[in-house]
Amino acid sequence: MTGELLAPQLHEYLDALVPPRPPELEAMEEEAARTRFPIVGPAAGHLCYLLARMLGARRVFEMGSGFGYSTAWFARAVLENGGGKVFHVVWDEELSKRAKTHLRTLGLDALIEYRVGEAVDVLRTTDGPFDVIFNDINKEGYPASLPVIASKLRTGGLLIVDNMLWHARIFDTGDRSETTEGVRQFTKAIIADSRWISTVIPIRDGLLLAWPKPQT
């Protein structure tokens, strides 16, 4: 069983509820559709913006930032929260350059710290703590990322993890691929960990939200 879990009309309805975006952000959506580049999309992007805005986030770390679409949503929230830094992290120098072009056009470039490298290693060597960490790396790397994330996210902060429904592959008992197993293992680990309060929201391909409980 693989495919999209939500009916197309539901996707369209949720995206239509998102307020109008700047032309450059809409151009990024069109680019992603044209090239089949995976982005979080308007509804999930707006949810990330809303959560970061509500949290008063001033420091956001993105693990796997693509060409800057999700970065733009987080940066808009940080700007409206009074300013700060959003870390855009990708493996590929060309993606980083594309993101710089888009985010500069959006007037958000001054808020962005661009890093090229393996996201978990970059997070490990970057001074924290962070208000929000967004995880969208290669799925086989999800389980090993959790201890590093836990060490860098502030108490009361928020972890957001993309693709937690993994295009319905998690329901296919015959799928034992590294990527699918990575999503399954990460989900089981964080749900079972009493230090976190977590839930999965079935929007687009599933966003996991996790809050690290204060330690007493």
The percentage of the chain sitting over the pLDDT mark of 70, rounded to a whole number, equals 98
Q: What is the spatial distance between Cα 82 and Cα 56, in angstroms, rounded to a whole number?
A: 9
Report pLDDT digits (tens) over 89-119. Answer: 999 999 999 999 999 999 999 999 999 999 9
Report pLDDT digits (tens) over 31-75. Answer: 999 999 999 999 999 999 999 999 999 999 999 999 999 999 999
Say if residue 5's pLDDT is above 80.
no
69 DSSP assignment: H
Extents of the domains making up the chain: 8-212
pTM to 2 decimal places: 0.95
DSSP 203-215: STT-EEEEEEPPP
Structural contact between residues 122 and 182, judged by C-beta atoms closer than 8 angstroms: no
Tokens of residue 159, six digits: 């972890």
CATH of domain 8-212: 3.40.50.150
Structural contact between residues 63 and 132, judged by C-beta atoms closer than 8 angstroms: no
Report pLDDT digits (tens) over 206-216. Answer: 999 999 998 76
